[in-house]
Amino acid sequence: MSFNSPFTGTVIQPTDVSYRSITLSADSTLSWPINGSDTDNAAARVMDVTSLSSGLVLAGVLVTGTAGQCSCTTTPSLFVGQAVVVAGTLTGTSTGLVSGTTYYIILTNGSTTFTLSSTLGGTAVATTAGTTTGLTFTLDSFTLDMPPANQASVGIDALFRNVGSYSFEVRTYAGGSIVTIAPGEAKYIYLTTNATTAGTWGLIAFGVGTSNVDAATLAGFGLKAISNTLNGAIEVNTFASNYTALATDRASTYVWTGGAGTLTLTSAVTLGNDWYMMVRNGGTGTLTIAPSGGDLINGAANISLQPADSCVLCCSGSAFFTVGLGRSTQFNFTQLTKAVVTGSYTLTAAEAANVIQKYTGTLTGNVTVVLPQTVQVYYITNQTNGGGPGYQITFTTSGGGATATVPASQQVILLCDSVNLLNASTIAAGASNVSLVDGTVGAPSLNFATETSTGIYRPGSGEFGIAILGVKLFGLTATGLNIPGTGNFTGGVQGGVF
């Protein structure tokens, strides 16, 4: 039989059947309503379809007999000829039902009892009663296959409306999926190529119950289709290296997880007057937000977010602004007590959150403490035993810069500008006296920044001492002066007894 027009040589479109109501009680294949066709299962332009199979998973299935008898606790609509797909790994006590096999109901009360066969309309499968733990029993949903595409002209179409309670799938003649139609939905398909029996089919969603557009086709940045409605959606991304925010980051949230870094903003003209994103500094250093091309943010060239700061960045098309710039309100005066011995110690974010920091332990070598790159004030007390050579603790940031060295038994206030550590200790104007800690011969309480083992200290009760390079060379008490070692007196020595 030829389907080509003797006048044009093209495929002739089949006779048009306007409407059919179809009840699916098994998988079915439609045919074109053409001359010579001996089937009444013709494809129509509009089809209302009711599927009798649910695709649901039966709950509480037990094998109750030796001839495929089963029961379940759910009450779907069961019928003879319905397919049941068994899957999983059996750990229960029954036998006879094999995972990966499709069985068919040959007897049922319509709700909670059914008998299975391995073939449609065949005899019952041999079983032993018991539990089916580990197996799932799924009622197979039905399929409706279109006729061969190469027997029709491109542009032929069909509208399917699911008027039943269960989903069904519309497929090509070759078995490929075109669309699954849920209860209440209407889908319109049309043939775009007919070179093979499967063909290529276009799809238009008519919505649920009305001709509304498909929500999924409308969901853009900051929107998500859930069922048939559009819903707000905020995608969260983390980044630990410098990044440039793009137009595609609209409505997204970016959480910084690194040390010091920069978030560069694409030009305001490119992003436009309605672009926005959310930013949070969840890292350990300062996050700089810098517009590009001379644009300003809050009237400045850039802004800095300290750890735990957050904001919404909004673009006006010519500049950027922040909304709800959340500064961390936690001013943590809890104390960190950390034992150190020798080598380098990098503080965690939780440790560095403590403004007051006390270091203890017996030093066996010099210690370096690495602080995060953030603007902060630290109150440091070195309560370690500096050891014989007078080992010390040096504080630095992960970005390098100026460092601060604190000898044993010393306290200091350090200012961190995110790169450098500066000694903030000063004498208050008008102070009448200055009190020093005792110090040690290796770490005098009053010493020199470039030679911290030279200075004055209190060796003991009622004694004033001077140390040079960690060696006591001068001791003055109420009973006299003690100068260890030899002396060189160029002007002579007078008075007293020698």
Q: Which residues of 478-488 are buried (b: 16+ CB within 10 A; e: fewer)?
A: eeeeeeeeeee
Q: Is residue 206 part of a domain?
A: no
Q: Are residues 463 and 384 in the same domain?
A: no
Phi, psi of 403 (to 5 degrees): -115, 165
- Cα distances (angstroms) measured from residue 210 to each of 158, 205, 214: 17, 10, 11
State how far the Cα of 197 lies from the Cα of 201, in Å rounded to an integer.
Answer: 12
Q: Are residues 296 and 353 in the same domain?
A: no
Phi-psi region of 121 (alpha: psi -120 to 50; beta: other; left: phi over 0): left
For the cut 80, the answer to whether the pLDDT of residue 356 exceeds it is yes
Q: Is residue 298 part of a domain?
A: yes
Q: Is residue 375 part of a domain?
A: yes
Q: Is residue 492 part of a domain?
A: no
State how far the Cα of 33 lies from the Cα of 44, in Å rounded to an integer.
Answer: 8
Count of CB atoms situated within 10 Å of the CB of 18:
7
The pLDDT-based confidence of 358 (bands split at 50, 70, 90) is very high
Q: Residue length, the chain?
A: 498
Q: Which residue has the tokens 């010579």?
A: 36
**pLDDT value for 431:** 47
Q: Which of 397, 423, 449 is the last residue of a domain?
A: 423
Number of domains in the chain: 4
State how far the Cα of 182 lies from the Cα of 159, in Å rounded to an integer.
Answer: 14
Q: Please, which residues bridge with residue 457 across strands?
A: 465
**pLDDT value for 115:** 95
The pLDDT-based confidence of 1 (bands split at 50, 70, 90) is very low
Q: Are residues 340 and 411 in the same domain?
A: yes
What's the rounded mean pLDDT across residues 198-215? 72
Phi-psi region of 68 (alpha: psi -120 to 50; beta: other; left: phi over 0): left
Q: Are residues 371 and 450 in the same domain?
A: no
Q: Are residues 437 and 414 in the same domain?
A: no
For the cut 50, the answer to whether the pLDDT of residue 429 exceeds it is no
**pLDDT value for 338:** 92
For the cut 80, the answer to whether the pLDDT of residue 306 exceeds it is yes
Per-residue pLDDT tens digits for 15-31:
566 888 999 877 789 98
For the chain, percent of residues with pLDDT exceeding 70: 85
Q: Are residues 414 and 340 in the same domain?
A: yes
312 exposure class (CB count in 10 Å sphere: 0-12, 13-18, 19+): middle
**pLDDT value for 16:** 62
Q: Are residues 339 and 291 in the same domain?
A: no
For the cut 70, the answer to whether the pLDDT of residue 207 exceeds it is no
Mean pLDDT lowest for which of 296-310, 321-335, 384-398, 412-426?
Answer: 321-335
The pLDDT-based confidence of 209 (bands split at 50, 70, 90) is very low
152 exposure class (CB count in 10 Å sphere: 0-12, 13-18, 19+): buried
Q: Is residue 97 part of a domain?
A: yes
410 exposure class (CB count in 10 Å sphere: 0-12, 13-18, 19+): buried
**pLDDT value for 214:** 65
What's the rounded mean pLDDT across residues 329-348? 80
Q: Which of 286, 305, 325 is the last residue of a domain?
A: 325
Whether the model pTM is above 0.75: no
Question: Average pLDDT over the chain, rounded to whole?
Answer: 84
Q: Are residues 257 and 307 in the same domain?
A: yes
SS (H, E, C) the chain: CCCECCCCCCECCCCCCCEEEEEECCCEECECCCCCCCCCCECCCEEEEEECCCCCEECCCEECCCCCEEECCCCCCCCCCCEEEEEECCCCCCECCCCCEEEEEEEECCCCEEEEECCCCCCECCCECEECCCEEEEECCCEEECCCHHHCCCCCEEEEEECCCCCEEEECCCCCEEEEECCCEEEEEEEEECCCCCCEEEEEEEEECCCCCCHHHHCCCCEEEECCEEEECCCEEEECCCEEECHHHCCCEEEECCCCEEEEECCHHHHCCCCEEEEEECCCCCEEEEECCCCCECCECCEEECCCCEEEEEECCCCEEEEEEECCCCCCCCEEEEECCCEEEECCHHHHCCCEEEEECECCCCEEEEECCCEEEEEEEECCECCCCCCCEEEEECCEEEEEEECCCEEEEEEEECCCEEECCCCCCCCCCCCCCCECCCCECEEECCEEEEEEECCCCCEEEEEECCEEEEEEECCEEECCCCCCCCCCCCCCCC
What's the rounded mean pLDDT across residues 449-462? 88
For the cut 60, the answer to whether the pLDDT of residue 179 exceeds it is yes
What's the rounded mean pLDDT across residues 223-252? 86
Domain residues for the domain of 125 are 57-139
Q: Which of 325, 347, 376 is the last residue of a domain?
A: 325
What's the rounded mean pLDDT across residues 463-479? 90
For the cut 60, the answer to whether the pLDDT of residue 250 exceeds it is yes
For the chain, percent of residues with pLDDT exceeding 90: 41
Q: Are residues 296 and 345 in the same domain?
A: no
**CATH number reported for the structural domain that contains residue 339 in this entry:** 2.60.120
State how far the Cα of 231 lies from the Cα of 223, in Å rounded to an integer.
Answer: 5
The pLDDT-based confidence of 328 (bands split at 50, 70, 90) is low
State how far the Cα of 407 lies from the Cα of 367, in Å rounded to an integer.
Answer: 10
Amino acid sitting at position 439: G
For the cut 80, the answer to whether the pLDDT of residue 37 exceeds it is no
Q: Are residues 344 and 413 in the same domain?
A: yes
Q: Is residue 471 part of a domain?
A: yes
Per-residue pLDDT tens digits for 257-279:
999 999 999 999 999 999 999 99
Q: Is residue 271 part of a domain?
A: yes
What's the rounded mean pLDDT across residues 404-425? 85
Are the beta carbons of 172 and 200 closer than 8 angstroms? no
The pLDDT-based confidence of 466 (bands split at 50, 70, 90) is very high
- Cα distances (angstroms) measured from residue 387 to each of 363, 392, 405, 407: 6, 9, 16, 11
Tokens standing for 294? 């001379």
Q: Is residue 358 part of a domain?
A: yes
Per-residue pLDDT tens digits for 95-144:
999 999 989 889 998 889 999 999 988 999 999 999 999 999 988 778 88
**pLDDT value for 417:** 86
For the cut 90, the answer to whether the pLDDT of residue 52 exceeds it is no
Q: Are residues 419 and 435 in the same domain?
A: no
User: Residue 349 contacts by C-beta under 8 Å, 6 or more apart in sequence?
Assistant: 283, 284, 307, 372
